[in-house]
Amino acid sequence: MTAVTRSDVLRRFRRDRLALVGLIVLLGFAAMALLAPWLVDDSALSAVASLDNPTWAKPSGEFLLGTDHLGRSVAAQFIAGSRVSLFVGLMATIFTIAIGSAVGIVAGFAGKWLDATLMRFTDWFLVIPFLPLAIVLAAVLGRGIWNVIFVISITSWPSTARLVRAQVLTVRERLYVDRARALGATQLHVIRRHVLPNVAPLILASATLAVPISILTETTLSFLGLGDPTQASWGKTLEEAFQAGAISRSAWWYYLPAGVGIVTVVLAFTLFGRALEEILDPRLRDR
């Protein structure tokens, strides 16, 4: 990827409208999550501090997205919740991709017994049922953000590992790898200069898929009450809205923002990832 300079990437992004939209949306959410402590006062999330507020208030000038059954501002919960959702999504993705890529590359490149061993190990993780594990871990370790991240990572790295290994195996057989060896290249050189750059787009693509999956999983876990009870997240908002009967009360302002937020972030990541793959592959670029 040496020849793809930063200005190149930016210029190509500018030409791809959808990717640009995706990128802007993501940057917006990231800014919101980072600035959340300054945008939202902790007291806005506290039921005690919100005792004076009206409950089930519709969106208005005072409460942009209305209030919930305890009189807390939904807008404040939305902003604060983005922080946890994005954090969990990103962290879980980083672990998933890091473990998956490392195992995949080592297995694909080493071959023989190491490959066989690592792949059996991967298969073993691949068949672990996700929800029971999450429930057991929550029971054993207690509920918390890091446990959520741990559960997501431990169950989703094997598919990345399989994918990366398959790609490494095909790249390894390419004639240009033979040529590099004939030029006197070491294994390390072949991995760094030929295998990684050709596997990277795939890793990137699976990362952009893993982020939304992780965010959705976090939502699921929080919705089931397995998330961190002390932190606001979009999943937890949805759970509380559901528990408080927001749906039967038609209090759409309570559950809609979190739902729309999740869908928007997931979509933005997908658009962004698709464009990134095209941009990094010189053969797809000219189209």
Partner 1 sequence: MTSPHIPPMTSPKGSAEAASQAALSETLVTVRGAHVRFGAASSPVRAVDGVDLDLGRGEVLALVGESGCGKTTLIRSMIGLEPLASGSIIVDGHEVTRRARDLRTLRRTAQMIFQDPTGALNPRHTIYDAVAEGLRIHKVRGDEMVLVTSALASAGLRPAARYLGRYPHELSGGQRQRVLIAAAMALDPVVLLADEPVASLDASIRGEILALMRSFVDERGVSIIAVTHDLGLAWNIADRVAVMYLGRIVEIGPTEQVLADPQHPYTRALLSVVPETRGLDQQILQGETPDPSKIPPGCRFHPRCPLVASGEAARLGIEARCRGEDPVLTERAAAHTAACHA
- The CA distance from 109 to 104, in Å, is 8
Size, binding site for partner 1 by CB under 8 A: 23
Residue 3 binds partner 1, judged by CB under 8 A: yes
Token pair for residue 184? 């006197």
Token pair for residue 188? 């390390």
- The CA distance from 74 to 66, in Å, is 6
Distances from the Cα of 113 to the Cαs of 109, 126, 275, in angstroms? 11, 20, 38
Residue with smaller CB distance to partner 1, 186 or 243: 186
Q: Which of 11, 15, 58, 174 binds partner 1 (CB under 8 A)?
A: 174
Which part of the chain contacts partner 1 (CB under 8 A), choosing from 45-53, 55-63, 173-181, 265-273? 173-181
Residue 183 binds partner 1, judged by CB under 8 A: yes
Give least dist CB 103 to partner 1, A: 23
Give the three-state DSSP class for 4.
coil
Residue 111 binds partner 1, judged by CB under 8 A: no
Is the distance from CB of 71 to CB of 52 less than 8 angstroms? yes
CA atoms within 13 A on the CB side of 262: 23
Residues for the chain: how many in total? 287
In angstroms, how far is the first alpha carbon of the chain from the final one? 19
Q: Which of 2, 7, 230, 250 binds partner 1 (CB under 8 A)?
A: 2
Residue 185 binds partner 1, judged by CB under 8 A: yes
Give least dist CB 224 to partner 1, A: 44
Residue 193 binds partner 1, judged by CB under 8 A: yes
Using CB under 8 A, which residues numbered 226 to 285 contact partner 1? 281-283
Q: Which residues bind partner 1 (CB under 8 A)?
A: 1-3, 174-176, 178-186, 189, 193-194, 197-198, 281-283
